[in-house]
Amino acid sequence: MSFGSVQGPQIDVFLPVLQTVICVADLITATLLFVQYSIQSHRAILVLASGYVCSGVFAFLQTLAFPGAYAPTGLFGNADHAAWFFVLWQTTFPSAIIVYALWKDKRDSSAGLNIGMAVACVVAAIIVLSLLVTTGVEYLPTLYTGGITVQTPAAKFVNILMLLIGITALAILFSRWRSILDLWLIVTLIAWMPNFIVAAMLTTVRFSVGWYMARGYALVASCTVLTVLLTETTFLYARLVDSVVLLRRERANRLMSLDAATSAMAHELKQPLMAISASGEAALLWSQKSPVDLERVRKCITAMLSGAYRADEFISGVRELFKKRKEHRTAIQFDDVAREAIDLMRPGLQANGIFIETEFKDHLPAIYADRVQLQQVILNLIRNAIEAMNATHGARRLRLATRYDGRSAVILSVEDTGRGMTAADVERAFVPFFTTKSGGMGLGLAICQAIIEGHAGILRIAKADAAGCVFEMEMPVANDTPRDEVKVGVAGDDVRSLA
Ligand code: ADP
């Protein structure tokens, strides 16, 4: 006698508990598969879901009829009824898997209707089959003699039939295996095998060691696909949450960029607009004087016009920046642009008592750049320098110089004697929104860097200490025929002027 045939203790609660769990697991699996069918419309899934419904219901009916489970002689019928429900359970499920494997490529159109029809058919089939094995049991072969422990030869035959159906299902599924679900159904069928084998090989079946083990495997088989489906669903939800978070972050970033762009424009437009309004107010005052000081009014209007032109040029420059147009790039002299920027800033520099020093080398190689954009950068550097020098009480000197590196670049340096920067501030100076000023936006340097890098140049902080800062703009030359005459200019009209 084999170890599997050894009769174990008759634990009556074992079967009802285990098979109720199997029933619940199968019905949940069926529900999940019906949901999947409603999304994918694969007819094979519908058949599989129907197979799980049959499996769950027949497992439960078998438990109800099983002597010693819910009642000493079963809630209805006798040992043979329970045995035939077992047969239905063990044949409908692998049969459904066979149909599933054969119908894998078929798709349906109206999923909702098909689910309804499938459930109705399954319920009808369950009712008919249940009636057959209960009211018509006397027409079926007897499977047990001597209570619930000894099988008849007919039972042996039925067991071998069940084993063959299981093996056929396994073979067909294995030959058509394509998806993860197929893989786990194969695992399920393999876990079901001990159930068939134990039933087919052992004469004394119930409550033997083999019987208990086989039922344990049946539980594993029943929960396999359920576990996979639940795990897949959880992963899908996790991925969905990730996608939603990413989507939100991207939206926030886009809003940030928009915010940054509008802030940058506001930042750059504020200066000329303030200059226009200040000059307008001054013009109004001078025009109210008697006699009217026409010369001053004219100067104010000229300043207003120049502010308006600067604003207009800036707007055009920004549009080009966004369009990444390069038509306005021409070969220009770096010092020319620097001189223009100084001219534009002269009133502000004079008002703040700042001494301007220039050292522009003559005949430097031209650079290839957008004049307006380059001017914006120099203006921003000068504006920062003025603010830095306003924060100290020492000498106020702004020095602009150009030089040629002898190979491929022309460098403009903007040096001030302002409050300087700490090493930590230098690290973050070009990071958007980094500012140490109460009314600052921290966008100036970031935009400047974007513009210079857009020209294949470099904007860097060459020196930053308590004595002040040196910013350097390095631009690639447009041609390579430099002449290196130096013209040092501490021009009289560049020198300190009125407050
Ligand atoms: P904002 O001027 O609006 O603060 P910027 O991008 O122009 O923005 O500058 C960022 C920060 O870099 C400033 O807040 C300041 O702390 C520092 N900075 C820039 N230029 C100078 C300078 N010439 N001297 C000292 N600090 C400077």
Is the C-beta atom of 429 inside 6 A of ligand 1? yes
Q: Is the pLDDT of residue 47 over 90?
A: yes
Q: Is the pLDDT of residue 410 over 80?
A: yes
The residue whose two tokens read 């594993």 is: 220
Is the C-beta atom of 421 inside 6 A of ligand 1? yes
Q: How far is the CA of 394 from the centre of ligand 1 (A)?
A: 19
Q: Where in the chain is the domain with CATH 3.30.565.10?
A: 328-489
Chain-wide mean pLDDT for the chain? 82
**pTM for this model (two decimals):** 0.50
Q: Where in the chain is the domain with CATH 1.10.287?
A: 243-326
Is the C-beta atom of 388 inside 6 A of ligand 1? yes
Q: How far is the CA of 72 from the centre of ligand 1 (A)?
A: 89
Q: Is the pLDDT of residue 253 over 80?
A: no
Model confidence at 252, in pLDDT bands (50, 70, 90)?
A: low
Between 479 and 191, residue with greater pLDDT: 191
Closest CA to 332 of 374, 377, 379, 360: 374
pLDDT for 65: 86
Question: Encoding tokens for residue 66?
Answer: 């099983």
Is the C-beta atom of 440 inside 6 A of ligand 1? yes
How large a percentage of the chain has pLDDT more than 70? 86
The neighbour count for residue 461, using CB atoms within 10 Å, is 16
Quick one: CA torsion of 347, 351, 357, 362, rounded to 10 degrees?
A: 0
Each residue of 50-70: pLDDT tens digit?
A: 999 999 999 999 888 887 777
Is the C-beta atom of 381 inside 6 A of ligand 1? no
Query: What are the phi and psi torsion angles at 70 (to 5°)?
Result: -85, -20
- 419 touches 392 (CB < 8 A): yes
227 CB-contact burial (10 Å; exposed 0-12 / middle 13-18 / buried 19+): middle
Question: Encoding tokens for residue 131?
Answer: 């009636």
pLDDT for 267: 76
Residue to probe by mutation, ligand 1, list 425, 431, 445, most atoms within 8 Å of CB: 445
Going from the C-alpha of 337 to that of each of 68, 232, 367, 370, 402, the distances in angstroms are 101, 63, 11, 10, 11
Rounded to the nearest 10 degrees, the angle between the axes of helix 334-351 and helix 294-323 is: 130
Q: How far is the CA of 329 from the centre of ligand 1 (A)?
A: 27
Q: How far apart are CA 167 and CA 150, in angstroms?
A: 25
Question: Encoding tokens for residue 496?
Answer: 């300190």
Is the C-beta atom of 442 inside 6 A of ligand 1? yes
- Selected from 1.10.287, 3.40.50, 3.30.70, 1.10.10, the CATH number assigned to the domain covering 243-326 reads 1.10.287
Each residue of 427-444: pLDDT tens digit?
A: 999 987 788 988 777 888
Each residue of 108-157: pLDDT tens digit?
A: 766 677 888 899 999 999 999 998 888 888 888 877 776 666 677 788 88
Mean pLDDT of 240-260: 66
Each residue of 313-346: pLDDT tens digit?
A: 877 766 665 555 566 788 999 999 999 889 888 8
Q: How far is the CA of 347 from the centre of ligand 1 (A)?
A: 21
Residue to probe by mutation, ligand 1, list 435, 452, 463, most atoms within 8 Å of CB: 435
Each residue of 447-469: pLDDT tens digit?
A: 888 889 888 999 999 999 989 99
**Fold designation for 14-232:** Rhopdopsin 7-helix transmembrane proteins (1.20.1070)
Convert 232-271 to b/e letters by CB count within 10 Å (16 or more is b): eeeeeeeeeeeeeeeeeeeeeeeeeeeebeeebeebbeeb
Mean pLDDT of 264-293: 84
Residue 427 DSSP one-character state:
H
* CATH architecture for residues 328-489: 2-Layer Sandwich (3.30)
**Which residue puts its alpha carbon closest to atom 1 of ligand 1?**
442
- 398 touches 415 (CB < 8 A): yes
Q: Where in the chain is the domain with CATH 1.20.1070?
A: 14-232
Helices (H) and strands (E) in the chain, counts: 12, 9
How large a percentage of the chain has pLDDT more than 90? 32
Q: Is the pLDDT of residue 169 over 90?
A: yes
Q: Is the pLDDT of residue 489 over 60?
A: no
**Which residue puts its alpha carbon closest to atom 14 of ligand 1?**
435
Each residue of 68-108: pLDDT tens digit?
A: 777 777 777 777 888 899 899 989 999 999 999 998 877 77
